[in-house]
Chain A
């Protein structure tokens, strides 16, 4: 009786085994604000270059694309490497993608076009790359709005999951938007296209394998 009693305080003082990497979410949360802080700082100092609006527009759009592709990489990373930590930041990456995409769209509509709606509508309808960009943003918005736990409950997980597959469509459109925009040097959009195609390939390959296994399985 006395031995366990003596051991108890020691056991209680041992570090509790919480979830691994407790610094992960706060680290990504704070790091994700980096581009915004950097832009604000350079805008304030006047060091965004000769065309600061174009610079901000391009950076915000590209940051959104990076977050979108990163959020799409989480599930394949879990499947391929067995890591669970990417799933913990997947939602945050997706919401960041939507946040930066919103700032990108606001920069275009408010700062670049000066809220000239006639010009904006004309741009969206006549310019393929702006049309594709608008479509991308239209897809991202419902995903951001249904990113809460409550939304998953209300929709039901199966429906929520189906809805959030649109993230891949948004990724494809986002890369296309980038590709159509550049004047000549397509190396960078191509790199994103390859990354996205790889992720999509992994998902499809896994889905096909799972389906084949399900058909072979005796439980119907």
Chain B
């Protein structure tokens, strides 16, 4: 008895009833945990969308630094939205409809180099140009712009690019050129969701020629001083700061000057919700939500949306005499 040490007090002895049920108890504890984990995991699977994965390596083209010749601040001195938010919260349906999809998938399949842009339609000098050649044609500028999404959120983004007008002047629009149509790459291997039918592919956007020639209208090749990440529309995208973000067609392969108004993707998908002009306008609500206010990414409170996204002084004259309620 001494070798075994003192006997445990009787109060610590497991009762026979519980001793005999220990297996059942353990099994029930296990099944309880499994049930709770299944319910919680199932809910997470069904409701939280896909996670933003941290991208490391394996990218077809990691962003590289760009030489910027001059800077233009056009966001009223506001602090730019953090780069992480700009590059992980994107609408780029070619890679999925979730905001985190483009950051998770675009860099894995999109090959932004080599990249050819076709200049076509009503121009004196049609042809094809490599995107790196395009970058050498024009000095790159940094432009800090507000970006207002049609979904009522907004960002401040330091783009790098050159005015679309500079390119148009170089290729020489003919007298019949009234509009500029821009088209995204069509290649389901590089853009897997083009196999689906969420939208009519390829994505097409367009501007009236005077809008396209406006000095604020930018062809962006980078942001935050580096080449565009795939999810932001590498290697070349449109930025029109006084219009809703969906006008900013990404990964452009063709710029075509036309005599007639281009049939643009969102206006074809839902003509009562998305117009050709898509100027930011707090007075014209989206049929399903208000455009009067917006949330700047990073802010808690909403702020009033400004006409033409605050660029009215520069661009309102383009629309003199137009009924912007009808031509939204």
- Listed in ascending order, the chain A residues whose CB lies under 8 Å from chain B are 12-15, 21-24, 26-28, 30-35, 37-38, 49-51, 53-54, 58-59, 62-63, 66, 111-114, 119, 122-123, 126-129, 180-181, 183-185
Contact = CB atoms under 8 A, between A and B. Distances in A.
Contacts of A14: 20
B39 interface: yes
Given A35-B44, A49-B89, A50-B88, A27 B31 contact: yes
A122 B292 CA distance: 11
A49 B48 contact: no
Given A27-B34, A27-B36, A34 B88 contact: no
A193 to B, nearest CB: 15
B47 A35 contact: yes
Interface residues of B, number: 52
A23 B32 contact: yes
B81 to A, nearest CB: 8
Interface in B13-55: 16-17, 20-21, 24, 28-29, 31-41, 43-44, 46-49, 52
A106 B93 CA distance: 30
Going nearest first, the 8 A-B pairs with the smallest beta carbon separation are A27-B35, A34-B40, A31-B39, A50-B89, A23-B32, A50-B85, A31-B36, A62-B47
Contact of A119 (B17, B99, B199, B293): B293
A32 to B, nearest CB: 6
A125 B34 CA distance: 44
B99 A50 contact: yes
Interface in B127-176: 151, 153
B40 A15 contact: no
B47 A63 contact: yes
Interface of B: 16-17, 20-21, 24, 28-29, 31-41, 43-44, 46-49, 52, 81, 84-85, 88-89, 93, 97, 99-100, 151, 153, 198-199, 269-270, 285, 288-290, 292-293, 295, 297-298, 300-302
B199 to A, nearest CB: 7
Contacts of A28: 35-36, 39
Contact of A38 (B48, B100, B290, B300): B48
Contact of A53 (B36, B46, B295): B295
Given A15-B24, A49-B100, A53-B300, 9 more contacts: A12-B17, A13-B16, A27-B32, A27-B39, A31-B40, A35-B48, A113-B302, A184-B198, A184-B269
A12 B15 CA distance: 13
Contacts of B17: 12-13
Contacts of A38: 40, 44, 48
Given A15-B24, A51-B297, A127-B290, A35 B34 contact: no
Contacts of B48: 35, 38, 59
B39 A32 contact: yes
A93 to B, nearest CB: 10
A54 B295 CA distance: 10
21 contacts: A13-B17, A27-B34, A28-B36, A31-B35, A31-B38, A31-B39, A34-B40, A35-B44, A35-B47, A50-B81, A53-B295, A53-B300, A59-B47, A113-B302, A119-B292, A123-B289, A181-B288, A183-B97, A184-B97, A184-B198, A185-B97
Contact of A23 (B16, B31, B85, B285): B31
Contacts of A37: 40
Given A49-B88, A50-B89, A184-B198, A66 B290 contact: no
Contacts of A63: 43, 47
Given A26-B32, A54-B153, A31 B47 contact: no
A32 B41 CA distance: 10
A15 B20 contact: yes
Nearest to A123: B290
Given A31-B35, A35-B43, A22 B93 contact: no
Contacts of B301: 114
Contact of A66 (B35, B46, B49, B302): B46
Contacts of A185: 93, 97, 198
Nearest to B274: A183
A148 B34 CA distance: 28
A21 B30 CA distance: 12
Contacts of B36: 26-28, 30-31, 34
Given A34-B43, A184-B269, A129 B34 contact: no
B325 to A, nearest CB: 16
A150 B17 CA distance: 35
A128 B289 CA distance: 9
Contacts of B300: 53, 111, 114
A22 B24 CA distance: 11
Contacts of A59: 47-48
B208 to A, nearest CB: 25
Contacts of B33: 27
A49 B93 contact: no
